[in-house]
Structure 1
Amino acid sequence: MNAGTLVVGACQAGVQIAVSLRELGYTEPITLVGAEPHQPYQRPPLSKAYLAGDATPTTLRLRNPEFYAENEIDLVLGERVASVDLDAGTARTGFGRQIRFGSLALATGARVRRLSVPGSDLNGIFYLRDMDDADLLAKALPDSSDVVVIGGGFIGLEAAAVARARGKKVTVVEATPRLVARAVAPVVSDFLAQAHRRRGSRVLLGRSVAGLEGRAGAVSGVRLDDGELVPAQLVVVGVGVLPRTELAEQMGLRVEGGIVVDQYSRTSDRRVVAAGDCTTLPHPMSPAGHIRLESVQNAQDQSRVAAASVMGRDTPYTAVPWFWSDQADLKLQIAGLSLGFDDVVVRGNLEEEKFTALYYRNGQLIAADCVNRAPEYMAVRRALAAGATIPARTAADSSIPLKELVVPASASV
């Protein structure tokens, strides 16, 4: 029997690789190995619906347990692949299990970036990456009146919104001058800060954490760089993630801020494909030529490309990136990548919390941030996928549906 394909990582990307292989007619064995004991599940809702109590482990499952058996996918949970011998075509888990393979796919994901300030080992400090993290945070939240969120990115703001909805006193501390600075324009950052303040959260910008103070081994406050002590019985840390590249490095694969892959999801060793949060992939908007995308969209689309490459069917990655963030009653949907934008056009009303910010580079539409404007988000996604644009000179006119303003890119100049 052929050794088949080993997929390392039972996350969104890993499951999608296995599913796509079967959809493409792959008949050889598939082994899917995940370090967590849980059935493979969706991660984005953890800081949203799951933390709020509106989702369960069952509703978050990517597939029903029966699916894997029915599709002859050998699902190995609660074990992490510790080493790989590419030449021998074998992998070994931390528990000593040996797995043979003919093809190898890496979907190793990412781990949270941890604080390294004094007091960061106190009880009451939570990170939010996996289901166990979310369960621990949800259990501690009811007994905490003062919550401090360190990090003003999407995870931090989503957690802050859930805590505030539970009646907690919430303080968000962000070290940079604005929220979500890597993903949105200043106008959207300012809107988010004001929106969270209107809902009762305290938002501190340009303030870093000097240390965490405690009482009887539990956190009691966050000391800021200017000496202020912010009371806290619970601290949520959301300061980014780091790609899991240890296995790739052990195999000698090229790693630069992630496992480097080409447009076909192949690594520097053509015997290995990779997909998801652990990878950096080619993108013309990135100064380095590669970019790492942390999104469900990328995990799904890149994994389909990886599966095709395993089968020798070269299919380049051309998908339009998209992201979303639910923060209480604010739904932010992002289409495209705004890297390198030189103009922003806002249509709609920021005060009414319904607007779209359209990003342009050299007169061409490259991305949009849509707040509570789902139809406009879809219009931009379709336009970008078709290689079309929305002229900046007409984009601000909200009296005309955005989809009616879409024109071929050559017609915008």
Structure 2
Amino acid sequence: MAANTAFVIVGAGLAGAKAAEALREEGFDGPVVLLGDEPERPYERPPLSKGYLMGQDERDKLYVHPSQWYAEHDVDLRLGVTVTGVDPAGHEVLLADGGRLGYAKLLLTTGSSPRPLPVPGADLDGVHYLRRIPDSDRIKHTLESATRVAVIGGGWIGLETAAAARAAGAEVTLLESAPLPLLGVLGREVAQIFANLHTDHGVDLRSGVQVAEITGYGGRAGGVLLADGSRVEADAVIVGVGITPNTGLAAAAGLDVANGVRVDAGLRSSHPDIYAAGDVANAFHPRLGKHIRVEHWANALHQPPAAARAMLGQDVSYDRMPYFYTDQYDLGMEYTGYVEPGGYDQVVFRGRTDTREFIAFWLADGRVLAGMNVNVWDVTDPIDAIVTSGRRIDPARLTDADVPLTELLALADGRQER
């Protein structure tokens, strides 16, 4: 391979695989090298805390492409390869085995890592984090025999693993430092619905608590000590207290890093030949007028192809609204939009929250910032249209199930007032 002719992608997860796919679909016929530090070919992570963890999805369903796809599309997939550095001036990546790989364009899809719990005992056997296939396998195996599980952290991973543990028959104690799970993500009105969901399914939810220590016997976790002196006995502990973007390579290379690799709307970093996408990218969002970092599956699916097009010299402005989903017990949910903590002034509901069949809308100054459909399906397109329009919509019409979602934009702004 000639030096400095390849398009190199560092990070062989969903984001890296979709970028490689897009390069070929866009007609790029030069060398494409996809580097991953895991032994597995690119796979999707949401099933690790959902269907795969619960034994509903087979392992083969995790993978982004069939194993032969990479060779068939002339993508040089190198697994078990650790990248130790990036040399922007020399247009090279440095490998752990001492090798160097030249690039013409470089895309960082290095993802993120679970945030460690900074308390004594966090390194005991039986303390689990969830990010990779072996993590999910270990938790799945643990749930086959555990009778008491403590889950630390009331975010999406914590709630989904708590639901999986309950489905496996374990007693579950969910420990959350905030007054409610998902409070910073959804706000009090909707966070309370998810809290009720878990308590209705038998979870011992303890909010507003601080973990002081993970206790154990013989090197194995046996429970959790809280700051108030109370103890939670557990056969296993699952920690889900957030993730941290893997920015080490970018920072060491002198790129602009702040809550991720800062990139423009075309996913270009502070170096013109280096791009970033997925969890690790703190990207400027044209519709929102600010940099945001999105940690969800849909972003890893759609943002890297935009980066690939930008690497090929196309005029790209990635402005898709964030989207994520969850499945917990009998609740399925999709969320479209973006709301910062405390960034809304009203939440309105269409449907019934008591039966958990509804759509929630977050508004600020009459404009819909986000919408969430819970056990209501085939509505993401009109919700996305409402959110992206930036138009003012009468809350009374948002809540009126007799007004089709597809008609709300026609009733927006001045037309609804005349």
If the TM-score is normalised by the length of the shorter chain, which range does it land in? over 0.9
For 2:301, the equivalent position in structure 1 comes to: 300
Q: Say which of 11, 14, 22 aligns to 1:12.
A: 14
For 2:24, the equivalent position in structure 1 comes to: 22
Q: Percent identity?
A: 38
The answer to whether the aligner puts 1:363 opposite 2:366 as a matched pair is: yes
For 2:320, the equivalent position in structure 1 comes to: 319
For 1:353, the equivalent position in structure 2 comes to: 356
Do the aligned residues in 2 keep the contact of 1:364 with 1:412 (CA within 8 Å)?
no
Q: Say which of 342, 346, 362 aligns to 2:345.
A: 342
Distance 1:171 1:243 in 2: 28
**What pairs with 1:189-338 in structure 2 (closer than 5 Å)?**
189-283=191-285, 289-338=290-339
Deviations 1:24-46 (A, max 9, x none): 11111000000110011000110
For 1:397, the equivalent position in structure 2 comes to: 400
Do the aligned residues in 1 keep the contact of 2:285 with 2:318 (CA within 8 Å)?
no
Deviations 1:295-318 (A, max 9, x none): 122122221221111111121011
For 1:124, the equivalent position in structure 2 comes to: 126
Q: Say which of 87, 91, 94 aligns to 1:92.
A: 94
Superposed CA RMSD in Å reads 1.7
Distance 1:203 1:253 in 2: 42
Q: CA deviation at 1:412?
A: 5.3
Q: CA deviation at 1:386?
A: 5.2
Do the aligned residues in 2 keep the contact of 1:81 with 1:93 (CA within 8 Å)?
yes
Q: CA deviation at 1:116?
A: 1.3
Do the aligned residues in 2 keep the contact of 1:332 with 1:371 (CA within 8 Å)?
yes
SS at the partner of 1:120? coil
Q: 1:284 to 1:207 in 2, by over 3 A?
A: farther
Distance 2:219 2:194 in 1: 34
Q: CA deviation at 1:405?
A: 2.7
Distance 2:377 2:321 in 1: 16
Aligned length: 412
Distance 1:61 1:116 in 2: 33
Distance 1:382 1:264 in 2: 22
Q: CA deviation at 1:120?
A: 1.0
**What pairs with 1:49-68 in structure 2 (closer than 5 Å)?**
49-68=51-70
For 2:160, the equivalent position in structure 1 comes to: 158
Q: Which runs of 5+ in 2 are unaligned?
A: none
For 2:384, the equivalent position in structure 1 comes to: 381
Do the aligned residues in 2 keep the contact of 1:335 with 1:381 (CA within 8 Å)?
yes
Q: 1:103 to 1:348 in 2, by over 3 A?
A: same
Distance 2:293 2:269 in 1: 14
Q: CA deviation at 1:123?
A: 1.0
Q: Say which of 97, 101, 126 aligns to 2:103.
A: 101
Q: Which runs of 5+ in 1 are unaligned?
A: none
Do the aligned residues in 2 keep the contact of 1:146 with 1:232 (CA within 8 Å)?
yes
Distance 1:165 1:89 in 2: 50
Distance 1:85 1:174 in 2: 42
Letter in 2 for 1:403: T
TM-score by length of 2: 0.94
Q: CA deviation at 1:390?
A: 4.3
SS at the partner of 1:65? coil
Q: Say which of 58, 67, 70 aligns to 2:72.
A: 70
Q: 1:63 to 1:388 in 2, by over 3 A?
A: farther
SS at the partner of 2:363? strand
Q: CA deviation at 1:8?
A: 0.3
Q: 1:103 to 1:412 in 2, by over 3 A?
A: farther
Q: CA deviation at 1:107?
A: 0.5
Do the aligned residues in 2 keep the contact of 1:3 with 1:102 (CA within 8 Å)?
yes
Q: CA deviation at 1:361?
A: 1.4
For 2:183, the equivalent position in structure 1 comes to: 181
Letter in 2 for 1:84: V
Deviations 1:39-76 (A, max 9, x none): 11000110000100112321110001111111110000
Deviations 1:112-136 (A, max 9, x none): 0001111111111000011111111
Distance 1:378 1:335 in 2: 9
Q: CA deviation at 1:399?
A: 3.3
Distance 2:85 2:46 in 1: 29
Distance 1:286 1:364 in 2: 13
Distance 1:412 1:13 in 2: 42
